[in-house]
Structure 1
Amino acid sequence: MAEFGPCEDWPVYWTCDIDTYSPEVTGYAVRAASRVLWALSGRRFGQCPVTWRPCADDCGDFTSVPLWDWRVGYSMPPWDFYRLPYCSGDCLGGCSCTHIPTIRLPDSVSRVVEVKLDGTPMATGTYRRDSRSLMRTDGHAWPRCNNLALDDDQPGTWSIAAILGEEVPDSGRLAMGELACEILKASSGVDCRLPPGVTQLVRQGVTIQYPDMGQLLKEGRTGLYLVDMFLAAENPDGLKQRGRVYNVDRVLRRRP
């Protein structure tokens, strides 16, 4: 699955005075810092709006448990495709003692924004989210078919609009401010605290030891206090991305 970067810039708690910099330069620094911290923190933080278009494998076959194509639409997807099973909600596995049509959602869903049926948003109270499930509570089943040739504001379609990902914590916003400030200074030719290429400097009998930049980068650190405190707390093992589980025996399906 392709991962192209954070969907939007991370929020910033500035740790320096940015009044002397132009909005254009400040924007460059924020975008650069967002991408760096997103990658170093394991591609975990930052929220993305998505719209799914569920559709069963075979709309005419009711003898087997259907699988759903999750059609995702956004410009810079961290996850570009889901194919998830449909859970009927019957009294199986302790799920429920009444029939509650249920769609399973990915763990990364932060909240469901809107559900449309036949181009019309469903009313509040006709569905609810419970952990990883989206349950329909108005006594009707979720549609098996979805006319993917039409936009989701047309009859015969349905869609789920949601927000994926975790919100950037306060420690991440402070880390953004520190890193973006140092990038601003470096881009303007001003002395900054980003680690230099040298590891040791001797002047007038005084030895100054600098961290090894190459080793820092290998460990997923930058040498900046707030940044490295955030990374040590949120990604102590230096993971490159969130864990995933793949079924090698699963039949490959077409992608949108």
Structure 2
Amino acid sequence: MADAVLCEDWPVQWTCDVSARSPEVTGYAVAAASRILWALSGRRFGQCTVTLRPCADDCAGLAEVPLWGWTVGYSMPPWDFYRLPYCAGGCGAGCSCTRLSTVRLPERTQRVVEVRLDGTPMATGAWRLAGRDLVRTDGAAWPRCNNLAAADDEPGTWSVTALIGEAVPESGRLAMGELACEITKAASGVDCRLPPGVTQLVRQGVTIQYPDVGQLLKDGRTGLYLVDLFLASENPTGLRSRARLGDVDAILRGRL
């Protein structure tokens, strides 16, 4: 679901002087470059801060949880107690077999910003993030049910606000700078290196070939060195979206 929307513009490392350009033009260029590079890199990079409203499967069936501004079905995994860490052969010195309440968050969860319980933010020492698992460490268990009809600042609710997604790498920031520079020039009526929409021009007996912009984007290339270097390294096969792994048996079981 993180691949379905670009939450905010990518960070940019300008490769040209834009001090004389208006904020409106540079802002437009950054927004346009962000959208283009996000799409061409397989909708992989970019982070969103979202508020999740977990609910156990056996409490409300398929929970309706707002993600990325939409309300979508979000089924939590089986709510069980996990032993962290796993202790083979029983508990020994330095090994804890305390049963801890754990709930799994979406893929690519980078950090948890806040956990609210009955409308009140929990102390950070009462929970920790272990990979994708939100582990409760204060000895209590996460609530099985959640009043999704109420806002998360009311009793009977709980929520997890988390940063989800993969950060834009440095090469992506430089690619942003190069592409945004050229878009800024084009928007200002200045010659730029963006390919025009013609493929051939004959003037005074001289034939000039231009790459077709539609074909460039179809091939996942722009003709700009830093941009194409970034795309070649991060999306060499031209994927349209991030690859996913799925449990076909679990999907089929859910339809029966």
1:149 aligns with 2:149: yes
Taking only aligned residues, the RMSD between alpha carbons, in angstroms, comes to 2.9
Is the Cα–Cα contact under 8 Å of residues 2 and 80 in structure 1 kept in the other structure?
no
Stretch moving more, 50-59 or 241-250: 241-250
1:118 aligns with 2:153: no
1:69 aligns with 2:63: yes
Is the Cα–Cα contact under 8 Å of residues 175 and 227 in structure 1 kept in the other structure?
yes
Is the Cα–Cα contact under 8 Å of residues 118 and 157 in structure 1 kept in the other structure?
yes
1:25 aligns with 2:30: no
Corresponding residue of 2:196: 196
3-state secondary structure, aligned to 1:134 = strand
Corresponding residue of 1:251: 254
The one-letter amino acid of 1:188's match is S
Q: Deviations over 1:68-121 (max 9, x none)?
A: 73612544x6x9553230352345994884311111122221111111111111
1:170 aligns with 2:170: yes
Relative to the length of structure 2, the TM-score reads 0.83
The one-letter amino acid of 1:229's match is L
Q: Deviations over 1:174-221 (max 9, x none)?
A: 111111111111122211101234446677898765445443222211
1:5: how far off?
3.4
Corresponding residue of 2:98: 98
Is the Cα–Cα contact under 8 Å of residues 171 and 230 in structure 1 kept in the other structure?
yes
1:85 aligned residue (74, 77, 88): 77
Distance 1:232 1:86 in 2: 40
Corresponding residue of 1:46: 46
Is the Cα–Cα contact under 8 Å of residues 68 and 86 in structure 1 kept in the other structure?
no
Is the Cα–Cα contact under 8 Å of residues 102 and 133 in structure 1 kept in the other structure?
yes
Structure 1 residues 90 and 31: alpha-carbon distance in aligned structure 2, compared to 1, 3 A threshold: closer
3-state secondary structure, aligned to 2:181 = helix
Is the Cα–Cα contact under 8 Å of residues 86 and 102 in structure 1 kept in the other structure?
no
Distance 2:84 2:37 in 1: 43
3-state secondary structure, aligned to 1:178 = helix
3-state secondary structure, aligned to 1:18 = coil
1:136 aligns with 2:127: no
Give aligned-pair identity as a percent. Answer: 67
Corresponding residue of 2:93: none
1:228: how far off?
0.7
Distance 2:84 2:29 in 1: 53
Structure 1 residues 94 and 19: alpha-carbon distance in aligned structure 2, compared to 1, 3 A threshold: same
Segments of 5+ residues of structure 2 without an aligned counterpart are 88-95
Is the Cα–Cα contact under 8 Å of residues 5 and 35 in structure 1 kept in the other structure?
no
Corresponding residue of 2:10: 10
The one-letter amino acid of 2:242's match is R
- Which has a greater percent of helix? 2
Is the Cα–Cα contact under 8 Å of residues 185 and 192 in structure 2 kept in the other structure?
yes
Aligned residues: 244
1:151: how far off?
1.0
Distance 2:180 2:158 in 1: 41
Distance 2:225 2:213 in 1: 14
Is the Cα–Cα contact under 8 Å of residues 52 and 160 in structure 1 kept in the other structure?
yes
3-state secondary structure, aligned to 2:189 = coil
